[in-house]
Structure 1
């Protein structure tokens, strides 16, 4: 009569169905069978890899092969009759052969018993090879315990202080009957860190309380001996060691120095293969940033893959399962390096809470990655994660218990792992410092055209996005001395932060009082308050715009203030400067501002002839903005003033995209175009607005600021009076100090519900491109009217003479439209039908579009000097008028629809467009390096 083996307390289920068991054929087998039965209840197949060393004398006669294998086969089948048992006896442990056997038999677990005649280092080498390279769990058995425990099963876990390794443990436990107790063995932790480790375990689905046992190492012992001793003292029947808890080199070090200790260990050790984020040199893994949640604010997380030497790559779109408090919240999609979670899933949280993210649809191999979400219950200190150590320490002192400390990774080319490790090193009391990601909140992952010099602005923009959702911001701490500013958010440079006394109160600045989301977001974007009492017209026709501004100058009684970027020396400029001289002769005070670099005036010794002639007139003063001398740095070259403003008698303003010259103020009907017309003689489509009413004062105040900065004498401001019933706002952006016009454009795009129309021929900032795609995904009709930087004519794209290099710029512009078109956007290349006086062979003209117009539904129109590219967004000063008037918007849409009607709609399937996709993509990737 056969006696069934007695039951063994453990966590037996069906996780490990196919096993390879490496054992010493000359030893008793009960030890490893007892350990195996703790891990699996119904194995399907077992391969027995027995070792019978070749030697002349043995303590006992070597058993014949069939006797050993048959005895174990019968023992296993007594346990479970359906097990398929095969095997072989070998003379020594060959790691390559063992790997091959494990692959051939589809092993799900490799068991390494005590091997008395095998080098401990060879044994641990096999263990690490299987776990790190073959991704197989390995059960390593040392000395047989004195007695076989029948007590409720306890498990010890070797966990890093920051929780690394818990993800692999959670994945393992999801297939097991939970042991009665879990004991986390880790290095010394402060009491509050113990609580964080327990909370993280719950987020990862480990619902049982985690008992934390501090690992104190004897200098004479190896790490393996220390773990074994504490596990034995804790009464554990199994020590689980996830490779995730250690870096690769540390795993190898522990293995080599602890090889003998592993051979003699009294508690079986289960080594789990690498599955999640860790500081590793040789294995790819995923990493996830932390995030914030507030009512109506969907948490946004950066998602990335980290490879060799911490190289960071953007993940292909996929799906994530999100866990919190041991519960699966749901599945979300990650795309473009960002995952967005439903705010409602987490709105009930308060304070800091751990989450877990699963990166695989198959639970057997899922990768669990930890992250945290903060539901702020006190104000935030938002800190650039790369500030120097002195600033970090000052920030920690400032935060104390009064503020949440949240770090922001500003560049997503830097590894999340490396930044977390750096923060932990300098702030050892923060086991898991909260690390947000700027690109996740701004939706501009891998924006290579956004240089590091604007990191301070991007950090402030993250704060603005959070403030729009009523998250209180005590201060933003940048790493740059040249800091951005915002009227509703305090910013501190490193020097300012370090100089503050420890107990300095930093209460959040007052935020806009508007409760309406539209008004609140536009105000936070930097727009002036919505102001009524205006009369506003737009001017798309260059000739009408010219005549309108000439008439205004001729009617001026007190002042004309003109500011622009480029001043051409041509007949159109001469007509306007003559009008200014006539006004000056009548006693009108004329003040003229021009950007020194792009107007070629007062930089590097150059003078603009048109401005020289103007400045010699009494009552006329000409000043250059930011003159350049010597060897200017990048900041001086890039921070130019791009505004185009004309102000007459403090009561009339022209807010425009037009510079001073023929391309901007010449009508298409006014040039007799021929096939040999030089490209520079072809007019451009441009747009401006004629404004009367209270906002004229705001624009004149902005002119006054630039005027005095350029060395001009201050002048008194006269308040403009109401002139109509229309409502409008002004957004003024100043260099690296703010991003008001960009944030205004994005606010309009985000609030669109039915239709967006953009008119511009500058390469879309990736953030704007992504915002347009998001609008398309929520059902908004998106239409873009762009032009040809190098003008051409006819159906075969015949170029006018000159400007060949401009074809490269055309490809760059179109490369940023490809993704919008692919997502369902409608793009038209401006085309004008033949007109009287043109050579008939031209057929249709494809001119440049210099206008900067954005239309949101029938609610608002933005017009001014701000393009949709990175230069306008960050570097150059801009002016934008936002008109909130439905009849005005409808008139603008009607005018643009007429232009759409004659233009060429881009067809993605058109062979010529499709054939140039790769060329456009190459230019798009390399444009920043091409232009320096």
Structure 2
């Protein structure tokens, strides 16, 4: 055997052995680890390449350290501990206590009372409300968004930011580099920077990062914090309602305008992401954390999730499984993308077995053909379990909402898919109490009224070609 070939063989086996140790060191599901090990042993070069791109879900120790330091330094709830017990110890339905415990233990943020929320379901009206809040800012505007498009609505918010910066307000804009690529390549971003707005991209796709981290992990959060007193979060990006595939129609989003102590938690999420991307720590800056003032009666809890070590416990999945397993009467879900894992399907199936009504609202026509095909593959299991699936026909339902009984509602950026559960950085707010659940369910009922109930009998008699196409698409579920 020639020396060169001999050395290449040794290197080949060294790669195999090292990668086997790397894969085994990760606490992945056995089936996932076995798949990676098989590919690496059979075809090491391809296996290493694919593992580098898709094998790791972590963003590194840097984010973990920032998460802990900023969370501790904000101390939003501790300052009120002895003075306002109805804020740090709000009364809730005892059925919610396990949900609250899971969210706090693994998400790091406690439940806080004394909040209010205005639900916003019209895209242009939401943009107007954010613009008004920015125009009223006196100290700072913090904006974090997945898609900021330089279209009409994007320019409305950009001009508001430039006006605020001109008044001396500190304006910070953090956008995902992939989702907001059109903005980052536009003249508008230069105008923002020239006006004094600090603009940075989240999770930039650069050569070094291509080698060290997954490219498909994105910051999917949508958040605006004004003066530490008011915050907007939910499903809406800074775009026109007809953004994307024109054949699908307008997007239907739901946002919340939050006031009260919960804003400090949402501020903490922005500070963590900003520090991670820029290295700038803002948590001790005067005015960032004003003294929390109760402005309502709602109890709420922020649940940020992501792929870093601090979130390896799959926080949102734990919270949702706890909520579903404790449901007694009704579960209603709206989501643009439905690619559930086995645990979610089982929890919803068990809920139906207990007599719980499970309603799921999804788009009739999705904006991503492969994702839609994969989603439809899972209709079979959900329909067999007894869930009711509604096909929303008026544009793309993009609102990500969940209500359980009369106890808890979730509003945020998380889709009911594996990507949101395990890969993307997401932001959600849990809201407790019959009043807010009733308001959220009213919004959900509007979506249901605009939908058609999927006929179980017709669905199971669809052509075999559709079944095979959907089953094939479902093979890519962990990546979609």
What band does the TM-score fall into relative to the shorter chain? 0.7 to 0.9
Q: Is the 8 A contact 2:115 2:297 kept in 1?
A: yes
Distance (Å, rounded) in 2 between the aligned partners of 1:569 and 1:630: 26
Structure 1 counterpart of 2:232: 654
Alpha-carbon deviation of 1:788? 3.7
Structure 2 counterpart of 1:741: 316
Residue 482 to residue 693, structure 1, CA distance change in 2 (3 Å):
closer
Alpha-carbon deviation of 1:777? 1.9
Structure 2 counterpart of 1:768: 344
Confirm whether residue 815 of structure 1 aligns to residue 377 of structure 2.
yes
The one of 388, 398, 401 equivalent to 1:826 is 388
Structure 1 counterpart of 2:30: 411
Residue 755 to residue 916, structure 1, CA distance change in 2 (3 Å):
farther
Alpha-carbon deviation of 1:412? 3.6
> Matches of residues 216-615 of structure 1 in structure 2 within 5 Å?
410-412=29-31, 453-454=56-57, 516-526=97-107, 528-600=109-181, 607-615=185-193
Confirm whether residue 694 of structure 1 aligns to residue 261 of structure 2.
yes
Confirm whether residue 679 of structure 1 aligns to residue 228 of structure 2.
no
The one of 277, 289, 309 equivalent to 1:710 is 277
Q: Is the 8 A contact 2:392 2:450 kept in 1?
A: yes
Alpha-carbon deviation of 1:763? 2.9
Q: Please give the secondary structure, in 2, of the residue aligned with 1:713.
A: coil
Distance (Å, rounded) in 2 between the aligned partners of 1:854 and 1:665: 24
The one of 446, 462, 468 equivalent to 1:915 is 462
Q: Please give the secondary structure, in 1, of the residue aligned with 2:192.
A: helix
**5+ residue gaps, structure 1:** 1-385, 392-406, 416-450, 458-479, 489-513, 667-676, 792-805, 833-846
Distance (Å, rounded) in 2 between the aligned partners of 1:723 and 1:869: 34
Q: Is the 8 A contact 2:331 2:405 kept in 1?
A: yes
Structure 1 counterpart of 2:83: none
Distance (Å, rounded) in 1 between the aligned partners of 2:189 and 2:270: 18
State how many pairs are aligned. Answer: 405
Structure 1 counterpart of 2:203: 626
Residue 824 to residue 927, structure 1, CA distance change in 2 (3 Å):
closer
Residue 727 to residue 481, structure 1, CA distance change in 2 (3 Å):
closer
Q: Is the 8 A contact 1:736 1:874 kept in 2?
A: no
Higher normalized helix content (fraction of residues): 2
Residue 784 to residue 929, structure 1, CA distance change in 2 (3 Å):
closer
Residue 872 to residue 646, structure 1, CA distance change in 2 (3 Å):
same
Alpha-carbon deviation of 1:927? 4.1
Confirm whether residue 639 of structure 1 aligns to residue 247 of structure 2.
no
Structure 2 counterpart of 1:730: 302
Task: Quote the RMSD (CA, aligned, Å).
Answer: 3.6
Residue 926 to residue 829, structure 1, CA distance change in 2 (3 Å):
closer
Higher Rg of the two aligned structures:
1
Confirm whether residue 857 of structure 1 aligns to residue 434 of structure 2.
no
Distance (Å, rounded) in 1 between the aligned partners of 2:258 and 2:399: 17
Alpha-carbon deviation of 1:696? 0.8
Distance (Å, rounded) in 2 between the aligned partners of 1:574 and 1:548: 15
Alpha-carbon deviation of 1:699? 1.3
Alpha-carbon deviation of 1:872? 1.1
Distance (Å, rounded) in 2 between the aligned partners of 1:584 and 1:760: 36
Q: Is the 8 A contact 1:601 1:624 kept in 2?
A: no
Residue 665 to residue 530, structure 1, CA distance change in 2 (3 Å):
farther
Bigger RCO of structures 1 and 2 (CA < 8 A, at least 6 apart): 2
TM-score relative to the length of structure 1: 0.40
Alpha-carbon deviation of 1:523? 2.7
Alpha-carbon deviation of 1:863? 0.7
Q: Is the 8 A contact 2:103 2:315 kept in 1?
A: no
Distance (Å, rounded) in 2 between the aligned partners of 1:645 and 1:483: 19
Q: Please give the secondary structure, in 2, of the residue aligned with 1:735.
A: coil
TM-score relative to the length of structure 2: 0.75
Structure 2 counterpart of 1:777: 353
Distance (Å, rounded) in 2 between the aligned partners of 1:414 and 1:585: 54
